[in-house]
Amino acid sequence: AQSVTQLDSQVPVFEEAPVELRCNYSSSVSVYLFWYVQYPNQGLQLLLKYLSGSTLVKGINGFEAEFNKSQTSFHLRKPSVHISDTAEYFCAVSDSNYMDTGRRALTFGSGTRLQVQP
């Protein structure tokens, strides 16, 4: 079984300040890790993904995340946020061995609402 914990339900931050959104996961198998963003009344858009290799991954819109296997974390960061970054952010995991197990579904955290203030 897998689970994802996003410790902060809301993160208020001023424009141009740095931000970190925290994600911890639990899994008995090796995983792929994802961050998705959801703007109001829209679907989920993939921000970035960790599949293998370098633990620091870069995504769209200036976001990056670092995979820490020992701490089972995958925190999302941005050095300087904009008003347009205001949205809900979801961390998700999937079984990396999905081609053999058939278990392809993503397990999501409960989301973190990033509120960027001017």
Residue count at the site for other proteins (CB under 8 A)? 27
Stretch in the footprint of other proteins (CB under 8 A) among 19-27, 59-67, 73-81, 98-106? 98-106
Give least dist CB 97 to other proteins, A.
10
Q: Which of 7, 51, 60, 83 binds other proteins (CB under 8 A)?
A: 51
Q: Is-contact 89 47, C-beta < 8 A? A: yes
d(CA 64, CA 61): 9
User: What are the structure tokens assigned to 43, written together?
Assistant: 């679907």
d(CA 108, CA 110): 7
Decide whether 72 or 98 has the Cβ nearer to other proteins. Answer: 98
Q: Does 49 bind other proteins (CB under 8 A)?
A: yes
Stretch in the footprint of other proteins (CB under 8 A) among 18-26, 58-66, 68-76, 99-107? 99-107
> What does 47-66 look like in DSSP terms, one character per residue?
EEEE-SS-SEEE-GGG-EEE
